[in-house]
Amino acid sequence: MLNVPFLQVKTQNLTYRTAIEPFRDFKIQLEGRWSRSDNYQELYRQDSLHTGFQNFSPVRSGNYSMSFLSFLTAFDSNSPDDNSVIFNRFRGYRTIMLERLNTKNRAEGLEGKYDLNSQDVLIPAFFAAYSGVAPDKVGFSPFVNIPLPNWRVDYNGLANVGWFKRKFSNISIQHAYSSTYSVGNFVSSLGYKDVSLLTLDNMMYNTATLSKGQIVRQDNITYRDQNGDQYLVPIYAMSVITFQEKFSPLIGINATTKSKISLQVSYNQDRNIGLNLANSYVNELSNKDLVLGVGFTRANVLIPFKVGGKKVRLKNDLKFDAKLTIRDTRTIQRKLDESPVVTNGFTQFQFRPQASYKVSERLLVTAYYDRMFNNPLVSNQYYRSTDQAGIQVRFSLSE
């Protein structure tokens, strides 16, 4: 007699890691992740005639994510106009996936069809286009079962080679890649009432369907439009399919010379691509940044001005650092039947030099200057520039 639904929750997580050192000072770290969370709920109570207990309003929902490799398309053009290579590939793959699905259903004797913007067409077309998989080989299910490894590579042996050994005391080269494929907030379509399809032990994604008025096949649903055409409805309605990819860094170099000058060069890029299945559009957020840095530590530095008519040298260490960052950020909304729109974005320039002098073990004085400006890519935002400068004095009371 209760109105509180019966609820089951199932969570699965898989993580694997390994470290490889194929030769001295060259280290590779590999890591893979897979997770899935499923919820099932129903009202289990007597029917209106009190003839026995039945299942009412069964609903299955959940989330899914895994580590993946999508770098095959990481450097393809994402032009803000109609010249995006990947998105145009996605558009074209819809026709291939539509024909594959219709051929499969005819072979299985299943009535009904899909259109170019059906969920079962969009998902594999999107997956193939943005992951680099061939459209004739990609699977129909959005649930990929094998988590692929991401990695980090570090090499510290260049300072032991020839000319570099004579000029540098340390050189470190880094490269890191991570990518995550996610299916967010899927929920079973309301037309499916067969509890055996929705229980937590059924992990398959099925594309079979039920007619609005009659059952065509037990595990399938269809609906008819105004022309009487019968369309297929998937068991699970998806909200967003995403790829989150990051090179952090794509290439990074940190070096220290024999004269104690530190150098830094780093190039990073990431993208977050989401297929919105409710409105059939792709949202692309991309970031690219270049970081250049230089610094040194010197003792007995000559002050460039006179104090009391005399030239003075600083007794303790003077530390200087300067960092330049150039960043490009943009968000593009791409609709299948309309021109793309840049909804947000800017080019940012930041330059921050600073000098620190340790007067004593307890007293540190730092002078800094920070110059930053943003040049927007959209008309509803303004060019913005900021300048900050100051002196910090820190005195430590601890022993």
Q: Which of helix, strand or coil describes residue 132?
A: coil
Residue of 389, 392, 322, 386 lying closest to 352 (CA atoms): 322
Structure tokens at 95: 């026709």
Residue with tokens 């039947």: 337
Q: Could you tell me if 234 and 142 are in contact, meaning their C-beta atoms sit under 8 angstroms apart?
A: no
The reported pLDDT for the residue numbered 216 is 37
CA-based torsion, 143, 146, 148, 149: positive or negative: positive
Q: Which pTM value belongs to this model?
A: 0.85
User: Which residues of the chain, if any, have pLDDT below 70?
Assistant: 206-230, 304-307, 399
Q: Could you tell me if 68 and 131 are in contact, meaning their C-beta atoms sit under 8 angstroms apart?
A: yes
Q: ∠ CA 176-180-181 to the nearest 5 degrees? A: 150
The reported pLDDT for the residue numbered 3 is 81
User: How many whole angstroms separate alpha carbon 392 and alpha carbon 79?
Assistant: 44
Residue of 193, 157, 189 lying closest to 173 (CA atoms): 157
Q: Which of helix, strand or coil describes residue 308?
A: coil
Q: Could you tell me if 352 and 368 are in contact, meaning their C-beta atoms sit under 8 angstroms apart?
A: yes
* Strand ranges for the chain from DSSP E: 6-23, 26-46, 53-67, 150-155, 168-188, 221-224, 230-233, 236-237, 240-257, 261-276, 281-298, 302-307, 310-313, 318-335, 341-358, 363-376, 384-395
Residue with tokens 């004579």: 166
Residue 228, C-beta contacts closer than 8 angstroms, at least 6 positions apart: none
Residue with tokens 């990609």: 138
Indicate the burial class of 311 (C-beta count within 10 angstroms; 0-12, 13-18, 19 or more): exposed
User: How many whole angstroms separate alpha carbon 279 and alpha carbon 284?
Assistant: 15
Q: What is the CA radius of gyration of the chain?
A: 30
Q: Could you tell me if 335 and 284 are in contact, meaning their C-beta atoms sit under 8 angstroms apart?
A: no
Structure tokens at 196: 């055996």
Structure tokens at 251: 């290439």
Q: Which of helix, strand or coil describes residue 19?
A: strand
Structure tokens at 182: 């996610």
* Residue 364, CB-side half-sphere exposure with 13 Å CA sphere: 11
Q: How many residues does the chain have?
A: 399
* Residue 116, CB-side half-sphere exposure with 13 Å CA sphere: 10
Structure tokens at 87: 């998105």
